[in-house]
A and B are shown apart, each in its own frame.
Chain A
Amino acid sequence: MTVNTDLISRLEHLARLELSEQERLSLQSDLTNILDMVEKLQELDTTQVEPLVYMNEAVNVWREDEVKHQVEREAALKNAPDQDGTFFKVPKVIDL
């Protein structure tokens, strides 16, 4: 896979980042290196190996259906960049 400027700008959009030209270039070379390494790994035959998704073998880690650990609204809103004591306020985002 080649990391070209189109891919960089798509990733920029997906990650909601705004990069400078300099940052784009350095990211392009970093990503190329990373993908090259992955391609190297892919030379190994792993057809007989189960994909590793989870770091341990635990299954069915569930909890009881009980209400707890809620936080007060004041605490919930405290770290928000903008809020009015009731709601989080964000720049108008309407996808219409």
Chain B
Amino acid sequence: MAYETVIGLEVHVQLNTHSKAFCADDTSFGGEPNTQVSVVSLGHPGTLPKANGQQIALATRLGLALGCKINQRTTFDRKNYFYADLPKGYQITQDQRPICVGGDLDIKMGDAWKSIRIHHIHMEEDAGKSIHTLAPKHSFIDLNRAGTPLLEIVTEPDLRSGEEVDAFMTAMRQLVRYLEVSDGNMEQGSLRCDVNISVRPHGQTSYNDRCEVKNVNSMKFARQAIDYEVKRQIKIMENGGKVKQQTLNFDPNTGVTSPLREKEDAHDYRYFPEPDLPPVVLSDAYLNNTNQALPQLPKAAYNELTQKYQLSDYDASILVEDRETLLYFQGLIQHTSNYKAAANLIINRLLPWKQENKSTLSTFPVPSTSLAALIALVEEGKVNSTAAYQNILNALITKPDQAPLALAQEMNLIQSADSDFLSDLAKEVIAQFPDKVKEYQKGKKGLIGFFMGELMKKSKGKADPKASTEILQQLLK
């Protein structure tokens, strides 16, 4: 029988605020254990939370970018449970009136876009970190992370494969980075997801009971966990069994999921309104201002690059990957209308430069106007592209205030279409390789490239390729 995989995600995004959600502790990653704490995050009696305005701003920004309906009156609730990394005995979260409802995120699967619906987004605080491996009978607790602001994005069960989950998480990471609401760093846990998986026979419209896989902190693990889980559930169904709803833990070392706890004796979280935090009321003006301050979003940028500037899917996808690259491209094409050349220059030279120097494009030393002038030199046939994008650009990186044309002259790279100059060089090349000339004349026409290469070397990169080829062909007849 053919089966269909049904997946919904609970994505946790750590907001990039300086301080925690409901108290003013530092949220920086990697501090010494228990140094980013206060009486509030430690859960001491008599302390009170106070909401960080920035987390509300960031939550609103993401919600508007995803096309969510924003609840203009949104409230906090307590989720009660005992765990050593949760000093208060409850997590402040949103249950009844989460800040965002609905919305969707489009993912690109091959050439087609697919819309993944968002059920809701709520604000909550993170728990501390438990370390179980330091001693046989004790767990060690670090509360630096306790109280860090998170958004939980809950999707509808619209995803159908590990590839789609990968695409969704990639698109979400790209979006939160565009919006500057999170650094989206999966290794540091700023972006992580729980994966709800069920399998049903093709054509069935209702959903089967799902299993939730926790602790998936990389895309590789998510795909492994999904692959394993789908096989496991199909096997149960083929053997006439029924998949039980449960929470599973994924072990990256074995690639296997195992039960964490049964959902049936489900946790009784006894949610109730958080009396210590007054409601949040968002005015129309607040929403309008937030909306107007949204940057161009990745999908709109992709469409602009492929439609208005006629770039390929490959080029556009690379240029919109992060906002800095997009802005750099958009800045560069203020000075040149050769969009393809601008894209190539960024993709082939600037991004590798950024990678090698572990730097940012904004610190690339050569100004956009010079890059545009370089593109123009190639377009006008004054220098060939190798000379421009290798030799001259390398020189520009060390001498960024020089004009590309002056450098080209100084480096003796101005291309020559002068036929006397070129035919002298062509004659030299022909005299130098009599064997190759015979082969060419016997029909091995591909050798023209060889002669061109030799001629180009002799010209030190200055020969105009088109004029040279014509002269060579003429002389070799």
CB 8 Å contact bits of A67-82 with B (1 = contact, 0 = none): 1111111001100001
Chain A nearest CB from B462 CB (Å) reads 58
Residues of B255-278 at the interface with A, using a CB-CB cut-off of 8 Å, are 258, 260-261, 268, 270, 273, 275, 277-278
Q: Give the docked Cα–Cα distance between A74 and B77 (Å).
A: 32
Residues of A42-96 at the interface with B, using a CB-CB cut-off of 8 Å, are 53-56, 58-73, 76-77, 82, 84, 86-96
Main secondary structure of the interface of A (DSSP, over half): loop
Q: Give the docked Cα–Cα distance between A82 and B137 (Å).
A: 13
Report B-chain residues with C-beta under 8 Å of the C-beta of A87: 33-34, 131, 134, 140-142
Q: Give the docked Cα–Cα distance between A62 and B135 (Å).
A: 41
Does A70 lie within 8 Å of B143, measured CB to CB?
Answer: no
Does B83 lie within 8 Å of A62, measured CB to CB?
Answer: no
Main secondary structure of the interface of B (DSSP, over half): loop
Query: B445 contacts the other chain (Cβ, under 8 Å)?
Result: no
Per a CB cutoff under 8 Å, which of A55, A64, A66, A89 touches B140?
A89
Q: Give the number of residues in A that approach B within 8 Å (Cβ atoms).
A: 38
Query: A16 contacts the other chain (Cβ, under 8 Å)?
Result: yes
Per a CB cutoff under 8 Å, which of A70, A93, A96 touches B83?
A93
Does A63 lie within 8 Å of B51, measured CB to CB?
Answer: yes
Does A65 lie within 8 Å of B268, measured CB to CB?
Answer: no
Q: A61-B50, A66-B18, A76-B42 are in contact. Are A86 and B281 (CB under 8 A)?
A: no
Per a CB cutoff under 8 Å, which of B52, B136, B260, B280 touches A65?
B52
Report A-chain residues with C-beta under 8 Å of the C-beta of B142: 87
Chain B nearest CB from A54 CB (Å) reads 6
Q: A60-B281, A65-B53, A66-B19 are in contact. Are A53 and B24 (CB under 8 A)?
A: no
Q: A14-B270, A62-B52, A91-B137 are in contact. Are A73 and B278 (CB under 8 A)?
A: no
Does B132 lie within 8 Å of A70, measured CB to CB?
Answer: no
Report A-chain residues with C-beta under 8 Å of the C-beta of B278: 54, 56, 58-61
Q: Give the docked Cα–Cα distance between A50 and B138 (Å).
A: 48
Q: Give the docked Cα–Cα distance between A71 and B56 (Å).
A: 25
Query: B420 contacts the other chain (Cβ, under 8 Å)?
Result: no
Does B25 lie within 8 Å of A67, measured CB to CB?
Answer: yes
Query: B38 contacts the other chain (Cβ, under 8 Å)?
Result: yes
Chain B nearest CB from A89 CB (Å) reads 5
Residues of A14-30 at the interface with B, using a CB-CB cut-off of 8 Å, are 14, 16
Chain B nearest CB from A18 CB (Å) reads 14
Query: B236 contacts the other chain (Cβ, under 8 Å)?
Result: no
Q: Give the docked Cα–Cα distance between A27 and B18 (Å).
A: 46
Does B34 lie within 8 Å of A68, measured CB to CB?
Answer: no
Report B-chain residues with C-beta under 8 Å of the C-beta of A90: 84, 138-139, 141
Does B261 lie within 8 Å of A95, measured CB to CB?
Answer: yes
Chain A nearest CB from B73 CB (Å) reads 8
CB 8 Å contact bits of B33-44 with A (1 = contact, 0 = none): 111111110100
Report B-chain residues with C-beta under 8 Å of the C-beta of A66: 18-19, 24
Known interface pairs A69-B39, A92-B135; 13 further A-B residue pairs with C-beta atoms within 8 A, sorted by A's residue number: A54-B279, A61-B51, A61-B278, A62-B53, A63-B51, A70-B24, A70-B26, A70-B38, A72-B35, A76-B37, A87-B33, A87-B141, A95-B261
- Residue numbers of B with Cβ under 8 A of A are 17-19, 23-26, 32-40, 42, 50-56, 75, 80, 82-84, 130-132, 134-143, 249, 258, 260-261, 268, 270, 273, 275, 277-281
Interchain residue pairs with CB less than 8 A apart (16): A14-B268, A64-B53, A65-B53, A68-B24, A70-B24, A71-B37, A71-B38, A84-B140, A86-B140, A87-B131, A87-B140, A88-B141, A90-B138, A93-B130, A95-B261, A96-B249
- Residue numbers of A with Cβ under 8 A of B are 10, 14, 16, 53-56, 58-73, 76-77, 82, 84, 86-96
